[in-house]
Amino acid sequence: MSWHKDARRVQVLDALYGPIGFGEEISALVRAPVVQRMRHIRLSNIDSIALPGISGLSRFEHVLGTAYLSTIVGCSGTLNPSERIALQAAALMHDWAITAFGHLVEEAFAYVGSTFNHEGKLHELVASPASSDVGGVNRQVLCGRESGILDWCMQVFGSEADKYLSVITETIAGRGSIGPVVAGEIDLDNIDNLHRIAFHMGLAIDKEAPARLSRGFLGATDSGSPIFARDARDDLLRWVELRRDVYAHLMLAQPDFTIKLMLLYATVQAMRAGEFIDKDWSMTDVDFVSRLLASQVKETRDTTNRWMAGEFWEMAPLLWLSGPAPEYSRVAAFSEELAKEIRRPVFAYRIKDKRERRLSIEFDDGVSEVFGSNSKKWLLGVGSPTKRAFTKTELLAIHGFASTYFQAQVLPESIEGNTEPVHQGTLI
């Protein structure tokens, strides 16, 4: 393994971990366009109104935090020096192909039937040199700059560059011996992500917990189940509880649900007009909004302008439905049919219930334990650009049509689950 010894080391003051730094190799990757792009992508999927502390939080802060945890993770001591660097690189680059506004554009792609997946993008480019992404792994990702991934691998790993590019690719996808450490049931990504969002939204957290969990993370079984030290059990229990609390805030904030629904609608209309294609995945948040504002589609321009000005759509009360969440393309079809049913323009959006997650943990003493459970419900929201509250008749129709269309039960815990007219009013 070779490297330029005079390379500058990256050191930052992190909101959760305090002063952290990286070796010369990872420091160089931090400065590459593939990671610098993360400075211009939000960690939250929208510019939150209900949770303003996370509104401007960037993915750059998160990937640095995840990379730091990979330097102290318990299984790191079992790896050789090149493997450790590959693990740190995978942790740093795990979000490298994320679309603008977090997952927003990726979800919009799914509304129009695209199968784009940011976690599989690096594998796609490595495995398919003839990809539609011009430049492949080194395609332009930021201000006309190439990603820098191949050059970095060549400088760090020399003749073994291809081998370790493959290791990094597999790790980001959650495969291989260390893949579940970066992408699994509980991983360094969501350990950092959960605590970071909780901290910035204003919840009281134990800032030492992410480091303790990481040090107690000893690897994964052949089947991919995480292995932890026995003394990490209490922190795992608290992680499950914190996840429930964080996602209750994230999911049930109707003002933020409204914003995301509007931006999705604007994007989907532009995509249907051919103004966005899969190759546009590398846009930053600023690129994305600029494209929406310059759209030739009136509905896209008008909706984006209303979002920016705070003139939000009317919303029906959010509904909890039973069963697995439908595909986004089916939600898109539901929106069109519902509009005909109630004779009003509408757009629907759904969110899987992320408050719960089932963890199957194996401890280093050989004992296995299950924490939490997987939810069997999902959240549906319906919005309309028409500037009047939904009527009682319309709300009854939405309830009934949603239940029939998705063959799912509308659950009694639905937010404001009544059929009285609802006026959105001010959201601040």
Mean pLDDT across the stretch 13-18?
97
What torsion, rounded to 10 degrees, do the Cα atoms 57, 59, 63, 68 define? -10
Q: How many angstroms separate the CA atoms of 135 and 125, rounded?
A: 9
pLDDT at 103: 86
More confident residue, 121 or 393: 393
pLDDT at 198: 97
Mean pLDDT across the stretch 103-108?
89
Q: Hey, what are 365's tokens?
A: 């003493």
Q: List the 217-220 sheet strands across, edge first.
A: 217-220, 226-228, 359-363, 368-371
139: pLDDT strictly greater than 90: no
pLDDT at 375: 93
Q: How many angstroms separate the CA atoms of 381 and 383, rounded?
A: 7
Burial of 330 (0-12, 13-18, 19+ CB in 10 A): middle
More confident residue, 414 or 398: 398
Mean pLDDT across the stretch 56-64?
96
* DSSP class per residue in 32-86: SHHHHGGGGSBSSSS--SSSGGGTT-BHHHHHHHHHHHHHH-GGGGGS-HHHHHH
Model confidence, pTM: 0.92
pLDDT tens string 20-59 = 999 999 999 999 999 999 999 999 888 899 999 999 999 9
For residue 163, give the nearest of 71, 67, 86, 95 by alpha carbon: 86
pLDDT at 138: 80
pLDDT at 426: 33
**Per-chain mean pLDDT for the chain:** 91
**Amino acid present at 374:** N
Q: How many angstroms separate the CA atoms of 172 and 330, rounded?
A: 29
pLDDT tens string 219-241 = 999 999 999 999 999 999 999 99
For residue 165, give the nearest of 222, 82, 221 by alpha carbon: 82
pLDDT band (50, 70, 90) for residue 418: very low
Which residues fall within 8 angstroms of residue 390, CB to CB, at 6 or more apart?
A: 314, 315, 316, 384, 398, 421, 422
Mean pLDDT across the stretch 136-146?
87
pLDDT band (50, 70, 90) for residue 117: confident
pLDDT tens string 172-227 = 999 999 999 999 999 999 999 999 999 999 999 999 999 999 999 999 999 999 99
Q: How many angstroms separate the CA atoms of 174 and 117, rounded?
A: 14
pLDDT band (50, 70, 90) for residue 81: very high
Mean pLDDT across the stretch 357-367?
95
